[in-house]
Structures are given as structure tokens and as C-alpha cells.
Structure 1
Amino acid sequence: MDRELIPMSLLTLVENALKHNVATRNAPLDIRISADESGITITNPVRPVLSVESSGIGRSNLSSRFGLAGAGTVVVSNTDDVFTVTLPWLPERAA
């Protein structure tokens, strides 16, 4: 796919997954990244670190950045077991 995302947005989500979930050598955090025509999807199991609270600022910031870029909506799904974020592709540039 020859599509683009907002720079560093994927890295932000991977860092947040590691910050907010328990990951050890014996129990690594399985972060899955996939792409399709709608965007890039990042999925990880929910294994919360009890000492870290989430303010939601990171997700809010990403949503604002994608909205301002005209890319569409960042889709977040959070269940008891799985956390998923889909980042939309940036609009294609005119040739």
C-alpha cells in the first residue's frame, strides 16, 4: 500500500500499549499491527499496569491531529480483554 499516516502516530500507540500494560520476558505483550484499505489497526491484550492512570490525552491528541488533517476518525475499541485502535490513512495527495 502506498498510503500515509500522520508521522509518529503508530509509534505513539505502540508506546502507549507498553506504558499501560504489563509486559515481561515471560509474558510479553502481543501487539498486532495490520493494514487494510481503511487504515492501520493496532491491537493488544488488556493487562493494565496498576500504577499508571490514563488521562486519555494521547488518544484525544491523535484524534484531533487526524481530524485536522482531513483523514477521518480514529476508531478506538476497549473491552475487558482487548484494546484496538484504527488510524485512518491520510487523504491521497493530488498528482
Structure 2
Amino acid sequence: MIIRTRGGLPYSEDTFQEVWRDVRKAAGIPKEIWNRDLRASGSTEARAAGAPIDDVKKLMGHTAHSETTAKVYDRAKLEAHRRIAAARKAVRSTD
């Protein structure tokens, strides 16, 4: 839940979509990227930089097991698969 600085209440869905659209455009983020994608990206980047899973869990507001944070939000495994696929493709193209 994202709280508005002014008033301390959550954004309405419509207002948040408008704000996100404006921020996305200003930052040059493609429209295919959703705000929620940034959550997983932040978690993945933090883990790749060596942040302990328990710290990432706290930052993301998870109170349950660290495995939830690792399974759902840590996309490092997906990135590893992409790198492997790219490397395999590169080797094939040199044949």
C-alpha cells in the first residue's frame, strides 16, 4: 500500500494510476512496465548486491518466512536463466 505524503491516506486506484503514468513517462520507463515490477526488481538488485534476505524481507514488509521473499520477489534465478540462454544462443550462432 502506498500512502500519500499529504493526508497520510492511501491513493485511490485512479489517482495512483495517473501519478504512476506521469512518473513512468518522466523517467522514460516503457508502458509495459508496471509499478509492481519495480518491487521485484528492487529486491533482486538488493540480493545481487549482497543484501541479506532478512533485510530485504523487512524492507518489503514481509513478516512471514524469508522463503516468501526469495521465491516470489527475488528474480535472480530468472536473470540467470536469461544469461544462460543468451550464452547458448551466442555459441550456436558462431557455428
Name the TM-score, length of structure 1 as normaliser: 0.31
* Higher-strand-fraction structure: 1
Higher helix share: 2
Higher RCO (C-alpha 8 Å, min separation 6): 1
Using the size of structure 2 for normalisation, the TM-score is 0.31
